[in-house]
A and B are shown apart, each in its own frame.
Chain A
Amino acid sequence: MGEVKLFFGPNHPGMHGNFSVHMYVEGDTVVRARPLPGFLHRGFEKLMERRLWYQNLALIPRICVPEPDINEVCYAMAIEKIAKIEVPERAQWIRMIVLELARIASHLMSFPGIGGSLGLYTGPFWGTADRDRVLDIFESLTGARVYHMYIVPGGVRKDLTPSIQKSIKETLDYIESRLPDYENLIFKNRIVHTRLKKIALLDRETALELGITGVGLRATGVPYDIRKVDPYLFYDKVEFEVPTATDGDAFSRVYLKFLEISQSIKIIRQALEKMPEGKVNVRISDGNALRYRVPKGQAYVHVESTRGEYGYYMVSDGGEKPYRVAVRGASYPQTFIGIEKYLPGTRIEDVPIWLSTMDVCAPEVDR
């Protein structure tokens, strides 16, 4: 049987988002693979140069759909770094709570989502239902469910009221009580083990060479987490662990995400306790609140997203608009070099598992 070309995406039930992989298949094995980005290209980095600093707040969350808050916090922190603005302590803690809630929401879509590739559809549905509880919190806190535009340069838009704090605590208790169910459904299932273990292997050297971070790297035994390596906000003031594994296979990558949810819950509980009273934002400049200028300078800030290191490199020429903003998408290396170099040799059955556990995220890659 000769070589057959299969289109994996953009219209394919196994593909997440608007992305395509052209696979050349011999029998059941992929011999060549070509990633085709561009279906979702909106030119964010260029658009940002044409808009005011404040206007960009509505633009940046769109770069990453499942976890938009990392963009807001990167953008705000970069501006604060250039303008040397001291952000109120309470705002920093609230940012941490929002980031960790976003991490839980994203992981709740991501780790049960492996059920979509495996045919265990109960997982994704449960995950989506439980993620909705987190989105409810976002709605009451920010007024929006997915794109919050809540973390702004100088702090956050609104204070975290006691009633929202109460609902956060209740939601955390609920999600914690659901975790054993997920473990029974997915991680104790023997068929899941046979499908995921020793599949989509990624060794430490390859991960380091490609620049893969996040669970991809941590699954190979490297405890690399920006929250520990280069703490931002108040991550050095809370206690949490960075779960790692040594197998570097699909199973350990998915399982690490599951373990990280418990750590995020731990961080939020500590943050809610340690958060002092006070202001939640300061003004960037004394002039017009919508047309402020950022002093000349440049900065790189990075945060730990669910997919790895996520960073903004920002240059300001002292004007009303950014001179240049470059985004380091965490899933960039595995999506391009990874697919072209390491997807060949995979069987058709394992391609969705490969793409899903390597965190190929189309909106972030296309930008």
Chain B
Amino acid sequence: MMTIIRVAAVLLTGFFVGLTLEGVSRKIIARIQRRYGPPWYQNFIDVFKALSKNGITHGWIFDFGILMALGGVIATLAFVPLGDLVAFPGLDNLFIIVYLFAVGALGMAMGMVGSGNPNSSIGVARALTQMLGYEIPYMISVSAVMYYYKTASVSELMLSQQDSWTLLKMPLGGIVAFISLLGMLGKKPFDTPIAPAEIASGPMVELSAKYMGLLMLMHTFSIFVEIGLFVDIFLGISNYWTFLIKFTVIWILATLISSVLPRFRIEQVVKFYWKVPLGLAFLQALFVLLGWVF
């Protein structure tokens, strides 16, 4: 019974805080761009409006893919510890989270390709290529952390940072994880998969009404998983409230960076990830192996 309540608490936090922060970040971007911007609750309106309408389906693969994407990401979020709020204590293994997270991504790829629009296919191909770019440096950097603390449980990784944050202990790894985080979030300069001017928003091009609403929810939840993992692993011990504060800071930082940068071409994304962050990640791993940790 407690588990169900905890899972519900995690998901509701993801829903309310995620959508609120998306609204707030729209407001921040608007102010940078010298606009007034929509109200902070605009994303709630968007999601509810989208979900209340009948959309156009493109066959059962399309429908199933979207459900698989949303389901996969919700399942992943249930395993992510939000500070001291852990839905499944002892099961929050990083490998489980990473594998479950791929289900969502693959569901989205399947659904979008199922729509039959070439722009969607190009977008999905780009998204998977980009994944290839950021996953490797990210996993090396996180593996170094796991090796150092001798555990793969996310909440134990968080609790191990008694004396100082992992970000300060392994600054290179932290930087690599943050750059990879920008890629996961699809923030600029790594928003190549959804480039509107090139491929008409890529994967989302055939989405309408409730399909769009479901995918907006999926996006909100995946932001929570991605930033949440970064906060848990790199930004010290937190309880539920300090977790949310750190989460907000990282989300706003990513938003600010995103608002003043253009996007890379897809091969530039992969080249960049395999050059700078991968090099730094290897260096960090070497330092950890040699015991050179602050």
Chain A residues near B (Cβ < 8 Å): 4-6, 12-14, 25, 28, 115-122, 125-126, 129, 185, 189, 191-192, 194-195, 347-349, 351-352
Contacts and interface: CB of A to CB of B under 8 A. Distances in A.
Contacts of A126: 33-34
Interface stretch (B85-93, B189-197, B233-241): B189-197
A4 B118 contact: yes
Interface stretch (B105-113, B213-221, B256-264, B278-286): B256-264
Given A120-B262, A349-B195, 14 more contacts: A6-B118, A6-B119, A13-B196, A14-B200, A118-B197, A118-B262, A119-B197, A120-B188, A129-B34, A191-B262, A191-B264, A194-B265, A195-B262, A195-B264
Nearest to B125: A28
Contacts of A348: 122, 198-199
13 contacts: A5-B118, A116-B197, A118-B197, A118-B262, A119-B197, A121-B33, A122-B32, A125-B33, A194-B265, A195-B265, A347-B265, A348-B122, A349-B198
A121 B30 CA distance: 10
B201 interface: yes
Nearest to B33: A125
A4 B122 CA distance: 11
A14 B198 contact: yes
A91 B93 CA distance: 77
B103 interface: no
Contact of A115 (B35, B262, B265, B266): B262
B196 A14 contact: yes
A122 B196 CA distance: 15
Counting from the closest, the 5 A-B pairs by CB-CB distance are: A14-B197, A118-B262, A125-B33, A119-B263, A120-B262
A118 B32 CA distance: 17
Contact of B191 (A116, A119, A129): A119
A191 B189 contact: yes
B130 to A, nearest CB: 13
B3 interface: no
Contacts of B32: 122
Interface of B: 32-35, 118-119, 122, 188-189, 191-192, 195-201, 259-266, 268
Contacts of B198: 14, 117, 348-349, 351-352
B263 A13 contact: no
Contact of A189 (B33, B35, B261): B261
Nearest to A185: B260
A135 to B, nearest CB: 15
B263 A122 contact: no
A184 to B, nearest CB: 9
B95 to A, nearest CB: 34
Contacts of A6: 118-119
Contacts of B192: 349
A345 to B, nearest CB: 15
Residue from A115, A118, A119, A352 with most neighbouring chain B CB atoms (10 Å) = A119
A37 to B, nearest CB: 20
B171 to A, nearest CB: 23
A117 B122 CA distance: 17
Contacts of B259: 121-122
Contacts of B35: 125, 129
B33 A122 contact: yes
Contacts of B199: 348
Nearest to B195: A119
Contacts of B265: 194-195, 347, 349
A347 B268 CA distance: 13
Residue from B35, B118, B200, B259 with most neighbouring chain A CB atoms (10 Å) = B200
A311 to B, nearest CB: 31
Residue from B197, B259, B260 with most neighbouring chain A CB atoms (10 Å) = B197
A352 to B, nearest CB: 4
A12 B199 CA distance: 8
Contacts of A28: 122
A13 B261 contact: no
A12 B200 CA distance: 6
Contacts of A4: 118
